[in-house]
Structure 1
Amino acid sequence: MEQDTGQASPHPFAPRFEFAFTVSIDLTKPVWIEPSSMGTTRAGIWAAQGTFEGPRIKGRVIPMSGGDFPLVRPNGVIDFDARYFLEADDGTPIYLQSRGYRWAEGDAMERMARNEPVEADEYYMRVSPKFDVPEGPHDWLGKHVFVGVAEKVPRANRIHYFTVL
């Protein structure tokens, strides 16, 4: 007879994750539309500059090639819509489009808005990117699903991307 350990077996289709790379982005001062025609707050924040690096790829964020256009919902959840270009060290251009959410309990959102540091466990900030890349050494980016765990730092974002296996 099998003994019940109280722990469920992992689902046979549960995804595994592999670290792909981290993007560090310096952001411009936001432009705000308050309230927007959608009845909430919209912003435009440009990717001023940055870098990315992982085990298989590294390069730079092409300065001012795009940014994030978040919608702040009435409940305080920030709905991200980021689009900008990366350039791998070998010169390959990579288009990144990412959607996601940031929210927090307590005063963490207000502290982030004031560009004060917050601990990673004080907020939820996750993104789901898609990449458009030419055929070649980095085309694996356009063949996988990724999940990003974002880290909010004053006047910047650091996003750690993981390949879903």
Structure 2
Amino acid sequence: MNDPQVPAHLEYAFEMRVNFRPERCTVGPLPGGGYQGYTPCASGTIYGPRLSGIIIPDSGADYATVRGDGTIVIKSHYMLQADDGTKIYINNNGYLIPAKPGEARLDDGTPQPAYFCFSPTFVVPEGPHDWMGKTLIIGTGSRRSNPDHSIFTYYAVKQTLD
């Protein structure tokens, strides 16, 4: 059997630093186990070759459902503002799986999840950033503490044609 060739590659697009407020809200336990959580976003910055700007302060939050198996289902919503003033809505959907005790990789002294990946969608007006609403983008995340924030790194999936 031949190895299939992947007809795509990833292109680094941009990163976001999302700063969180200290307030947390948790509801639960839910039927079947788990909890629903809410963490408000205070602000943030966007930087990279395809997009730079800010996260509009207090424009969104991370909504996380912690399932009974410990998997965290992420649904986060924010409003972005590109350096040229364009307003962009982002909706991240993905999964965070905590590392097992004693197995977490440290990044800047903060234990990292075993898995933290998502697929965002964007609502963006016509113009220089409308590629975001026409491109499959995937992302990875890492957590930081002191102060509480996350770094989200985004990659555009580029189709390769032979």
Tell me the TM-score normalised to structure 1 length. Answer: 0.84
1:64 match: secondary structure: coil
Cα RMSD of the aligned pairs, angstroms, is 2.3
> Are residue 159 (structure 1) and residue 152 (structure 2) matched?
yes
- Per the alignment, do residues 101 and 25 of structure 1 end up closer, same or farther by CA in structure 2, a change over 3 Å counting? same
User: Which stretch of structure 1 is more off in the superposition, 33-42 or 122-131?
Assistant: 33-42
Aligned residue number for residue 10 of structure 2: 17
| 1:24-39 correspondence runs (5 A) | 24-28=17-21, 29-36=23-30, 39=33
> Are residue 42 (structure 1) and residue 33 (structure 2) matched?
no
Q: 1:53 & 1:105 partners in 2: Cα distance?
A: 28
**Identical pairs, percent:** 32
More helix per residue: 1
Tell me the TM-score normalised to structure 2 length. Answer: 0.85
- Per the alignment, do residues 137 and 93 of structure 1 end up closer, same or farther by CA in structure 2, a change over 3 Å counting? same
Q: Could you tell me which runs of 5 or more consecutive residues in structure 1 were left unpaired when the two chains were aligned.
A: 1-7
1:140 match: secondary structure: helix
Q: Following TM superposition, by how much is the alpha carbon of 1:34 offset from its aligned partner in structure 2, in angstroms?
A: 2.1
Q: 2:139 & 2:155 partners in 1: Cα distance?
A: 6
Q: Which has the larger radius of gyration?
A: 1
Aligned residue number for residue 4 of structure 1: none
> Are residue 117 (structure 1) and residue 110 (structure 2) matched?
yes
Moved over 6 A (4+): none
- Per the alignment, do residues 151 and 108 of structure 1 end up closer, same or farther by CA in structure 2, a change over 3 Å counting? farther
> Are residue 141 (structure 1) and residue 132 (structure 2) matched?
yes
Q: Could you tell me which runs of 5 or more consecutive residues in structure 2 were left unpaired when the two chains were aligned.
A: none
- Per the alignment, do residues 108 and 57 of structure 1 end up closer, same or farther by CA in structure 2, a change over 3 Å counting? farther
Aligned residue number for residue 70 of structure 2: 76
| 1:86-105 correspondence runs (5 A) | 86-105=80-99
